[in-house]
Structure formats: structure tokens, C-alpha cells
A and B are shown apart, each in its own frame.
With several copies, the nearest count.
Chain A
Amino acid sequence: MRFGVVIFPGSNCEQDVVHAAHVLGHEADYVWHGDTDLAGFDAIVLPGGFSYGDYIRCGAVARFSPVMAEVVRFAERGAPVIGICNGFQILAEAHLLPGALLRNQGLKFICKEITVTVEKSACQWMDATPGSLLRLPINHNEGNYICDPETLARMEANGQIVLRYCESDGSRAEGGSAPNGALDDIAGICNERGNVFGLMPHPERVVDPATGHTDGAVVFASIARRLAEVG
């Protein structure tokens, strides 16, 4: 399959995503934020980084890039879209996903590996046994997910909560296991249909065995399998 990886001014993980896709045997190409043609791509990735310097709010300016109108249409067609880290922030600003991402509770940038639990969800990007654990790196300053109680209840009911931060043994600490203060330990969510996925951890960083383990591969593999199935 072929991934389209969007470059906004200030994106900085686009190469990493392309590399991850290649390692897993997929095709991937860059899409410039000013472009409006997504023809030929099976899935769109909004990569991590600091689009527009994260100024005003993370993702606030990028969501108005010309390409985003196309991404919205692409998603509305039911085609798969994923936002990783800054990409998640952009999807939230663009209202493709509910809620918002605030400054980390500890007010510090956090780069480290954490553990998440896979929840039972409708997410097309996460074809893994609910309850299984993944070790994934996080790397952000604004990953403190928040939404109102109604939205949270609705997401729960619809199976939109995809990943939750947890302790290394899978348990969830009493005061929360999110390193950033995220509501209900939420690390990743999807839309109702399950084709749009946003997550703070960076699966593309743990795909290449040459630099570590490969827990992130499941994200790319899931969507590839799904697309192969639906044709």
C-alpha cells in the first residue's frame, strides 16, 4: 500500500514515517501542505513535529493548510487518516477528532518510552487483541488530552478510545498513568467510523529492528491488512 505523508512547515517526523513504511515493505511519499491532490494514496499520515512552531496552539495554523481540506474529504470518504503527535493535535484542531491537547501537566517536554494498553475499539489502525500492551516512545510538550464528560462518555460507548497509558505491567495507577496528565489516561482516539486515528506516541520510531524493538509496526500492519481485505 502507499502512504501519503504530509509535510507542514515545521513538521519533523515525516522522514521517519516514510522510513518506517519502507522498512515494513510499503510505499510512501511526501505530500506538501500546499498540495490539494491526494490521488494515489491509500492512507494519509499527519506526522509529528512542530508545525508552524506550535505557535498560538499546536496544530492551530496547520489545520488551515490547503491540503487539510482534502484530508477532511479523504476522511469523510472513509479512507484512513492517522495523526501522530503533532498530527493528532492538528486533527483535533481540525475537529476531525474530538477534544484538545493541553500542555503536559508537569510543564516539561517528555521524551521517553511508555506502555499503553490496547482498548477494544473501532479503530482500523489498531488490529490487536484488546488488553495487549505496547511499548511506544512519546515525545511531546502538549499531550494532555482533554474533552468534556459527554464527549468522553460518547467515545467510550462508541469504542473510540484506542490506547490508554498504563504502568509497565498493564495496570493503571490510582492517580492516573498518563505521563502528561491526559484525561482518563487517553493516549489515542479514533473517530466513530474508526478510519481517523490520533495518538500521542510515535509508532514509527519503533519499527526498524536496527534501532530497537518493533512494537510500533502493528499500526502500519493493521491498516495495510484492513485495506487488503476491503480491497
Chain B
Amino acid sequence: MARFQIFVTYKKGIFDPPGATAERALVSLGYDEVSSVKIGKFIQLEVADGTSEERVAEMCGKLLANPVIEDFRIEPVEEA
């Protein structure tokens, strides 16, 4: 079995309401050192051995991310 991690983030310039709210909330909780919070998705995928990164990229482009608003980055996970 192979594993991939996928990071889905909003494209630059797209306002992220949960991130902005978390940022304000942290500051109001006294964490003044916080200057930016962005909240995206962290997807852990288990696929059959030999599944290529291209194939995973296809899944992202189609379903797991929305190319109109989101970018994604894929990382194969090395087995320990």
C-alpha cells in the first residue's frame, strides 16, 4: 500500500473566512504575536502500491480540490 499526503490551500488573493476568524480569535485570546492564519485541508490518502503521483494529482484536480479557488501540493509518504 502506498500513502500520499495532500495539502489543499486557497489560491493567493482568495479570502479565507475560517482563517481570518481564527486569526482574530487568537489575537483576542491574547496571542498578539499571530499575524496570519490560513486554514486549508490536509488529506491522507491510501492507495494501491504503484499508484503514481500523476494519478493522485488527477484525483485532486477533479475532486479533492477546486482549481478555481484552490491549489494543492502532493507528498508521497515514505514508509517507516
Measuring CB to CB, which residues of chain A are less than 8 angstroms from any residue of chain B? 52-53, 55-57, 60-61, 64, 92-93, 99-100, 102-107, 144, 146-148, 181
Q: Is the CB of B69 within 8 A of A146?
A: yes
Q: Is the CB of B25 within 8 A of A102?
A: no
A-B contact pairs, 20 of them (CB 8 A): A52-B21, A52-B25, A55-B39, A56-B63, A61-B21, A61-B22, A64-B25, A64-B29, A64-B63, A99-B68, A100-B68, A102-B14, A102-B15, A102-B17, A102-B69, A103-B18, A104-B17, A107-B18, A146-B14, A147-B68
Q: Mark B3-27, 1 if CB is under 8 A from A, else 0.
A: 0000000000111111001100100
Q: Is the CB of B17 within 8 A of A56?
A: no
Residue among B14, B22, B28, B69 making CB contact with A56, cutoff 8 Å:
B22
Residue on A with the closest CB to B19?
A55
Which residues of B have CB within 8 Å of A147?
A: 68
Closest 9 A/B residue pairs (Cβ): A55-B18, A55-B21, A61-B25, A100-B69, A103-B17, A100-B68, A105-B17, A56-B22, A107-B21
Measuring CB to CB, which residues of chain B are less than 8 angstroms from any residue of chain A? 13-18, 21-22, 25, 28-29, 39, 62-64, 66, 68-69
Which residues of A have CB within 8 Å of B21?
A: 52-53, 55-56, 61, 107
Residue on A with the closest CB to B64?
A56
The complex places the Cα of A148 from the Cα of B12 at a distance, in Å, of 11
Which residues of A have CB within 8 Å of B14?
A: 102, 146
Interface SS, A side: loop
Task: Looking at the assembled complex, report how far the CB atom of A26 sits from the nearest CB atom of chain B, in whole angstroms.
Answer: 33
Given contacts A60-B63, A60-B66, A100-B66, contact A53 B22 (CB under 8 A): no
Name, among B16, B17, B22, B29, the residue most crowded by chain A CB atoms within 10 Å (CB to CB): B17
Which residues of B have CB within 8 Å of A144?
A: 17
Task: Looking at the assembled complex, report how far the CB atom of A149 sits from the nearest CB atom of chain B, in whole angstroms.
Answer: 9
Residue among B15, B18, B29, B63 making CB contact with A146, cutoff 8 Å:
B15
Residue on A with the closest CB to B21?
A55
Which residues of A have CB within 8 Å of B25?
A: 52, 56, 60-61, 64
Task: Looking at the assembled complex, report how far the CB atom of B12 sits from the nearest CB atom of chain A, in whole angstroms.
Answer: 11
Which residues of B have CB within 8 Å of A61?
A: 21-22, 25, 63
Task: Looking at the assembled complex, report how far the CB atom of A87 sits from the nearest CB atom of chain B, in whole angstroms.
Answer: 17
Which residues of A have CB within 8 Å of B64?
A: 56
Name, among B16, B18, B21, B64, the residue most crowded by chain A CB atoms within 10 Å (CB to CB): B21
The complex places the Cα of A102 from the Cα of B28 at a distance, in Å, of 25
Which residues of A have CB within 8 Å of B13?
A: 148
The complex places the Cα of A103 from the Cα of B70 at a distance, in Å, of 14
Task: Looking at the assembled complex, report how far the CB atom of A10 sits from the nearest CB atom of chain B, in whole angstroms.
Answer: 10
Task: Looking at the assembled complex, report how far the CB atom of B2 sits from the nearest CB atom of chain A, in whole angstroms.
Answer: 21
